[in-house]
Amino acid sequence: MTVSLLGATEIRRLAGELDVTPTKKLGQNFVVDSNTVRKIVHAAGVQPGERVVEIGPGLGSLTLAILEAGASVTAVEIDHRLAERLPQTAAERGVPDGALTVVDADAMKVTALPGDPTVLVANLPYNVSVPVLLHFLETFPGLQRGVVMVQAEVAERLAAKPGSKIYGAPSVKAAWYGPWKLAGSVSRQVFWPVPNVDSLLVGFVRDEQPRGSEEERRRTFEIVDAAFGQRRKMLRQALSGIFGSSAAASAVLEAAGVAPTARGEDLTVDDYQRIAQVAAGSNL
């Protein structure tokens, strides 16, 4: 199968034909460089026959590169004009029938995906990149791995380890599902329009065994939010609201093997999960 990718001129022509002026609100920065979309697909290790989900296919540049690699794609796009046009673009450029399914919807709200995808590949809309990633990881346990392109700072945060300045609530929440690793950089010049931030690729591999129940995840994330909500405070103080008092917070932290004087940025996801487990056991 030969799929022909979209070049810069074709992307602008397509946008003009659809009367699409890229909007900041929807994070519409389209990739206009074939090498870049192939680099993303390569970083994701997409194999023929794999089932990929793409969030925000836009005019289809990355979508076509995933299809070129022989995978099938379920693409979720919020902009109706783009969602409506994508199947035609794919057919015109050599994609066989049935290889692409377009879901015309807000990715933050989808709760079912046709095609049962196992790999996530996306150039994510910047404004919702972290919430949409967490929504997909939580809602679709069949997603085994993925590579996404996001704003450099967000990628660094997702892959950050405890103790670093950039380590925050998204780092711990992302780590709940498995390890994350930076997977390459992308020049801002390959986008149209050119954004005023740099981008990085970041990838994850889901742990084979789920870490805990939905209830435990919810409790853990609540504690993470409280810890980073007041990240400069010691944990016994930052968690006093959740546990009723700073003495109660200290007792839970000590029982979980965490120093009450530590700060949120010092703890691993395992530490946060242990705190949630101790709290659940003592009905706090």
Annotated binding site: 29, 31, 56, 77, 106, 123
Q: Judge if the upstream peptide bond of residue 193 is cis by omega within 30 degrees of 0.
A: yes
C-beta separation of 53 from 72 below 8 A? no
164 backbone φψ class: left, alpha, beta (φ>0; ψ -120 to 50): beta
Alpha carbons 282 and 44: distance in angstroms, whole number: 43
Q: Counting contacts by CB under 6 A, is residue 15 touching ligand SAM?
A: no
Considering the complex, state which of residue 12 and residue 211 has its C-beta at the smaller distance from ligand SAM: 12
Considering the complex, state which of residue 81 and residue 233 has its C-beta at the smaller distance from ligand SAM: 81
Strand ranges across the sheet with 72-77: 100-104, 72-77, 51-55, 119-123, 145-151, 199-205, 180-186
C-beta separation of 99 from 72 below 8 A? yes
Binding site for S-adenosyl-L-methionine: which residues?
29, 31, 56, 77, 106, 123
**Smallest distance from the beta carbon of 275 to ligand SAM, in angstroms?**
32
Map the footprint of ligand SAM across residues 127-186, applying CB under 6 A. Answer: 128
Considering the complex, state which of residue 28 and residue 273 has its C-beta at the smaller distance from ligand SAM: 28
Alpha carbons 98 and 194: distance in angstroms, whole number: 33
Q: Counting contacts by CB under 6 A, is residue 194 touching ligand SAM?
A: no
Residues binding ligand SAM: what is the number (CB under 6 A)? 23
Among 77, 156, 265, 271, binds ligand SAM (CB under 6 A): 77
Residues engaged in binding ligand SAM (CB under 6 A):
26-31, 55-58, 61-62, 76-79, 82, 106-108, 123, 125, 128
